[in-house]
Amino acid sequence: MAYGPIIIFDKSTLQCLTDDEAVLLDNFYMSNITPVFIAECLADLDRDMESAKSKGSPESMVGSLARKTPDSQACGNVFHMQILKGELAGKFDLTTVHFRPLRGSGEPVMTGSSKGVLFRESEEEEAIHRWSRREFWELEHDIAKQWRQTIERINLNASYASILNATGARKKPTSLEEAKLVTDSIIDSVDQEWLLRFGLQVLDVSFAN
């Protein structure tokens, strides 16, 4: 059957589905598997099952999610920082994308006079297949623990205060429309080169490689 609309789902969506419902989801929709979804699933390997009031081991929980994750009509999307780096480096133009998943590691190939691009299974997609078989690497347990520790250290209020201090005191936006107005005001009133460097620093983007 031809795939339907492209959808993006989160972990809780799959948790609400039975195995049969997950099969139907994969049958009727094209799924965009986001890096955030992969990270959330992986983080469950370090989850406290008692506090989460869940039955079974962390491995069984992640394995269940992986088993329900669409694969026949699914595509793993590249990490958004790769897209940002490509855009800033002039290697990628966001305006050429027409609401489809962005795949990475494409390999140009030629068969006779025909040209194309070969996309192999990404590391994330391969990992999901392993997880569905309850196969986990020790490294993945370590990554899960580090990811949770990193999330716990995030201080959004401190980050917001730091940005306001650098760009000038402004009223805190309460909607997307106000956030857009504040952003436009900053862009129009601050030195462009300084603002670009500051933005790269905030996002921890480096082009050293």
pLDDT surpasses 90 at 133: no
> Average pLDDT over the chain, rounded to whole?
80
pLDDT tens digits along 66-80:
889 988 888 888 888
pLDDT interval class at 98 (50, 70, 90): low
pTM: 0.65
C-alpha distances out from residue 197 to 109, 157, 200, 207, Å:
37, 22, 5, 12
Cα–Cα distance, 103 to 178 (Å, whole number): 33
* Mean pLDDT value of segment 103-128: 82
Cα–Cα distance, 76 to 121 (Å, whole number): 9
The answer to whether the beta carbons of residues 33 and 125 sit under 8 Å apart is: yes
What pLDDT, on the 0 to 100 scale, is given for residue 1? 47
The sign of the torsion formed by the CA atoms of 140, 77, 88, 159 equals: negative
pLDDT surpasses 70 at 59: yes
71 versus 170: which is more confidently predicted? 71
What pLDDT, on the 0 to 100 scale, is given for residue 18? 93
pLDDT surpasses 90 at 94: no
The answer to whether the beta carbons of residues 4 and 29 sit under 8 Å apart is: yes
pLDDT interval class at 169 (50, 70, 90): low
Residue written as token pair 């081991």: 57
First to last CA, the chain: 43
pLDDT surpasses 80 at 117: yes
> Please, how many CA atoms are within 13 Å of residue 119, restricted to the half-sphere of its CB?
11
How large is the C-alpha radius of gyration of the chain? 21
50 versus 139: which is more confidently predicted? 139
Phi, psi of 31, rounded to the nearest 5 degrees: -100, 135
